[in-house]
Amino acid sequence: MSDHLRREDSDGTADRLSVFREQLDGLTRQTRRRSLVARAGIDFSSNDYIGLAGSERLADALRDALNNGVPVGAAGSRLLRGHTDPHAAFEDKAARFFGTEAALGFGGGYVANFAVITTLPQRGDLLLMDALSHASTHEGARAGRAEVQLFRHGDVDHARDLIQAWRRAGNTGAVWIAVESLYSMDGDAAPLDQLAELADQHGFLLVDEAHATGVYGPDGRGLAHHLEGRENVLTLHTLGKALGGSGALVCGAKCLIDFMINRCRPFIFATAPSPLMAVAGSEALDILRDEPWRRDALRDHVTVFGAELSRRLPQLSVSGSQIVPLIVGPESATMDLAARIQQRGFDVRGIRPPTVPEGTSRLRVSLTLNATPADVIRLAETLEQLWPDL
């Protein structure tokens, strides 16, 4: 019997929940206990970068699909009856849009990352990840077959050194380099071209475009758009951030996608995502082509916010992307500052360990078209007024 079932209440009955209560109490003592809070304030925290989540066009596309008989649920896994026309049409269209041989849909980016990393890197291979990779990549690494090593964030020389040491130790397997094209908590970009060169010599490059899809590259195809189509490059494009819906696409060589269809357990043993999400994703790709003004307006936000911050808080460095981490340092000062900014009507969230490394707690300001240019300037003013002297 496990420990938590053995523990007993005073009346002799097992207290099955004590192990969980104690851990929650520990989080409360560390002031790290989280809870769900309702949306409030002007959006400076979502990933709805170009404002598609609430757009009329996506809503109309879904209404039309429902009126034309597209079912809400897929009602089965993709290899069984869950493979519907909208899924097939969307994946074909996405492969053409991103410039790859094939694309495969998943219910979300987390599961897609996990799926790729537990399926493609084989025993005897090396999975070499940027240290700041998303939790889904770390979880995939833990559950996968390949040996795992981390390289220092954005440091290609370190990645190369690790590969060379691994080769010197006699390893002959493939190296899978896993990075984000734009880092979710730091807003900086990966040195993709140099990493692609390393991948050409040693194996494969996996690029998580979660925060770049829809925002960067021609038609919003992402920061790795010029690498798509290579047989050793796989990209992950999420649908739940700039594309305004939910789900994700893995894009790459047909052979690798076929392998996933045959061997990827999170794909095979799961109900397919809703066909409506395929409809929404497909419409979102059309919007990316038809409405470049959205990317331009977001770029304007980035420029204005960067200029305002540099003038008002010159001690802070700005990322140059729509994700602007403002490092405060101590956890409690960060959460206090976030709360005071929220009281002024801005939805800015504090991010702290374990999501980010100890001592680097920060405000993660996310610029989206759900805020107006005047909102962006007012937020910079507010930050100047409230920024703590530490």
Ligand X SMILES: Cc1ncc(COP(=O)(O)O)c(C=O)c1O
The catalytic residue positions are 47, 134, 180, 184, 208, 211, 241
Pairing verdict, β 175-180 and 248-252: unpaired
Q: How far is the CB of 255 from ligand X (least distance, A)?
A: 24
Nearer to ligand X, 210 or 383 (CB): 210
Does residue 235 interact with ligand X by CB under 6 A? no
Nearer to ligand X, 99 or 108 (CB): 108
Q: How far is the CB of 171 from ligand X (least distance, A)?
A: 28
**How far apart (Å, rounded) are the C-alpha atoms in residues 156 and 143?**
25
Residue with token string 């045959």: 262
Residue with token string 């010599």: 201
Q: Which stretch binds ligand X (CB under 6 A): 87-95, 106-114, 152-160, 279-287?
A: 106-114
Nearest Cα to Cα of residue 242 among 205, 275, 288, 202: 288
Identify the residue among 186, 208, 308, 331 touching ligand X (CB under 6 A): 208
Q: How far is the CB of 277 from ligand X (least distance, A)?
A: 11
Q: Give SS3 for 136.
A: helix
Q: How far is the CB of 307 from ligand X (least distance, A)?
A: 27
**How far apart (Å, rounded) are the C-alpha atoms in residues 20 and 16?**
8
Structure tokens at 73: 């649920």
Does residue 109 interact with ligand X by CB under 6 A? yes
Nearest Cα to Cα of residue 173 among 146, 140, 141: 146
**How far apart (Å, rounded) are the C-alpha atoms in residues 223 and 195?**
13
Does residue 240 interact with ligand X by CB under 6 A? yes
Does residue 248 interact with ligand X by CB under 6 A? yes
Identify the residue among 55, 84, 136, 334 touching ligand X (CB under 6 A): 136
Does residue 347 interact with ligand X by CB under 6 A? no
Identify the residue among 190, 210, 280, 318 touching ligand X (CB under 6 A): 210
Q: What is the DSSP letter of 274?
A: P
Q: Which helix (H) or strand (E) holds 66?
A: helix 56-67
Contact 242, 215 (CB under 8 A): yes
Does residue 202 interact with ligand X by CB under 6 A? no
Does residue 214 interact with ligand X by CB under 6 A? no
| Torsion angles phi and psi, residue 42, rounded to 5 | -75, 140
Nearer to ligand X, 106 or 346 (CB): 106
Q: How far is the CB of 49 from ligand X (least distance, A)?
A: 12
Identify the residue among 86, 90, 119, 134 touching ligand X (CB under 6 A): 134
**How far apart (Å, rounded) are the C-alpha atoms in residues 21 and 30?**
14
Written as one string, the DSSP assignment of 315-352 is TS---SSSEEEEEEESHHHHHHHHHHHHHTTEE-EEE-
Does residue 113 interact with ligand X by CB under 6 A? yes
Q: Which residue is nearest to ligand X (CB)?
A: 109
Contact set with ligand X (CB under 6 A): 108-110, 113, 134, 136, 180, 184, 208, 210, 238, 240, 248
